Amino acid sequence: MTQLSEQEIIRREKLQELEKLGINPYPAEKYPVNNTAANIKALYTEETKDQFQDICLAGRIMAVRDMGKAAFVKLQDHTTQMQLYIRRDDICNGDDKTMFDVVFKKLLDLGDIIGVKGYAFITKTGELSIHVTKLDVLAKSIRPLPVVREKEGEVFDAVTDPEFKYRQRYVDLIVNPQVKEVFIKRTRIMQTIRDFYNDLGYLEVETPILQPIPGGATARPFTTHHNALDIPLYMRIANELYLKRLIVGGFEGVYEFAKDFRNEGMDRTHNPEFTVMEMYAAYKDYEWMMDTTETLLEKIAIALHGTTEVTVGEKVINFKAPFRRVTMYEAILEHTGIDVSNMDEDQLRATCVQLGIYVKPSMGKGKLIDEIFGEKCEHHYVQPTFITDYPVEMSPLTKKHRSKPGLVERFELMVNGKELANAYSELNDPIDQRARFEDQVKLMERGDDEAMYIDYDFLRALEYGMPPTSGIGIGIDRLTMIMTNQPSIQDVLFFPQMKPEKTA
C-alpha cells in the first residue's frame, strides 16, 4: 500500500471535518456557472460593470493572501486566473462564522475546487476582482499540488521535469496553464484542415484500426488476437489501402484523422501511437497535391500566427507558397557529391560504407537510398521543401513516373529537417501493384521486418478499377510541434507513451 505523506494525511482529516459539518466535499448537483475569468477580464469596463453584478464562477484555488477577516484568492478556471475578494461577513450567516473561520481558513487548501457568487469590481490597487457573496465547496483535493511561485511576471519552481509532466499531464495543465495553448492550437490546426478539405467537397471518414493485414506502409506492427474469430489482428500502421478502396467505391475525395501504431523506436519525433491525416482525391496527381498542400500549410500558419512565418527554436520557417522542389537524386548529389541514380544494389551498399552509413544485409536498393538521404540530406531542409521523384524500389504503392524510367511520382515534404508529409500519384494498375507486393515479400524473406504484406482484397478492389488518384499523409504531431514551437513530440501529446512507473 502506498505510504501517505503528512500533507495527504492532513487533507484527508480536513475532508472528514467538512463532512462532520454537513458539507458534501463532492456534491452531485450541477453548479450554475454563468461566466469565465477570461470573459470578465475582456469585457469589464466602467460602462459595462452593471452586466457583472451577478457572477457565478468555479475553479481551483491557486493562491491565498490572508488578511484576517478577509482574504484575496487566486481562482483558476479553464480560461485564466481571477482574483477573489472574500470577506467573512459577506459569506457567513449572522453570528455563525463557520464558513469563513473554519471552512475557508482551516479546511480549504490550494488545489481545492470551489464555486463562488458575487460581483466584479476594481480594487484600490486597480486589479479587477470578484467580491464574493457566497462560497461553495465543489471538490476537495487530497493530494497537494506542486508549488509554483510567480513574482512580477516571472515564474519560479515551474514543473519542468519531463517524467512528471508527461506522466501526470493533468497536474502539468493545472500548474502550467500555458501548456493548454499548445493543445488548443493543435485543435485549431485540425479544424483548419477539416475546413480546407470540406470546402473542396471531400468527406471525412473512418476506417478500421484493427486490421487483418498491416498494410499501407513499411513498418513493424503491433499484433493482437481476436478470440471470437480466432485470428491474429494488427493495429493499424496506415489507413491508406482502406481510403483507396473508398475511391474505388466512387467517392471523389476522402480524408481521415487516423490513430496509427508502429512497434518501433521512440525519440523526440516518434511515439508508437501517433496521428496522421490522410487524404485521397480522384482524378488528381502528385503535382496537384504539391500545389494543394503548400496552400493548406500557408493557411494553417496564418490561422495560428497571422503570418506565414513561424518561429521554431532559433529558426524562422516561412510557409509562404510556393515551396522549393528538389528530386531525391538531386538532393543526394547536392549533399554528398555522389550521383546514385544509376547504381545497382551492390554499388549503393559500397557507397553507404564509403559515407560511413551502417546498413543491414536485409536492406534492398530502396532502403539503401533512403538511408543515404536520411543520414546525409534530410537535416539540411529547414525551409519547406518537396523532395520528389523517388526510386521505384522505395515506393511499392506509387505510380511509375510518366517520363523518368525507374522512378515514381512521389514527394515527401521536409520541414525543419524532418519529414512532415508523404504523397503519391497512387498506383492504380492492379497487375503492377501485385508485382510490387511480391517484391516486398522477397524483402520480407531476406529479413526486412518492415516490408509490406500482400493485401489480396486491396488487389481485388483495384481490379474493379480505381481512377487516377493522388493521396497524402501529413503527420499531425510533427505539424503541431512546428506550429507551436515545441522541441519534442511528447510536448504535443496529452499522454505520450512511457515506461511503466516505478513503484516503491
| Binding region for Mg(2+) | 412, 419
Distances (CA, A) of 336 to 44, 339, 364: 62, 8, 20
Q: How many angstroms separate the CA atoms of 87 and 297, rounded?
A: 52
The size of the chain, in residues, is 504
Q: What's the burial of 256, exposed, middle or buried (CB within 10 Å: 0-12/13-18/19+)?
A: buried
Contact between 74 and 59 (Cβ < 8 Å): no
Beta-strand relationship, 113-122 and 128-139: antiparallel
Instruction: Identify the CA nearest to 394 among candidates 328, 349, 325.
Output: 328
Contact between 348 and 339 (Cβ < 8 Å): no
Sheet holding 231-235, edge to edge: 210-211, 231-235, 223-226
Burial letters 46-59, b for 16+ CB under 10 A, else e: eeeeeebeebbbbb
Q: How many angstroms separate the CA atoms of 368 and 7, rounded?
A: 58
* DSSP-assigned states of every residue in 283-342: T--HHHHHHHHHHHHHHHHHHHHSSSEEEETTEEEE-PSSPEEEEHHHHHHHHHS---TT
Instruction: Identify the CA nearest to 92 among candidates 103, 79, 107, 81.
Output: 103
Q: What residues form the annotated binding site? A: 412, 419
Q: How many angstroms separate the CA atoms of 19 and 21, rounded?
A: 5
* DSSP-assigned states of every residue in 382-434: -S-EEEEEEEGGG-TTBPBPSSSTTEEEEEEEEETTEEEEEEEEB---HHHHH
Q: How many angstroms separate the CA atoms of 21 and 6, rounded?
A: 23
Contact between 395 and 424 (Cβ < 8 Å): yes
Contact between 340 and 349 (Cβ < 8 Å): no
Q: How many angstroms separate the CA atoms of 348 and 172, rounded?
A: 48
Q: How many angstroms separate the CA atoms of 425 and 168, rounded?
A: 43
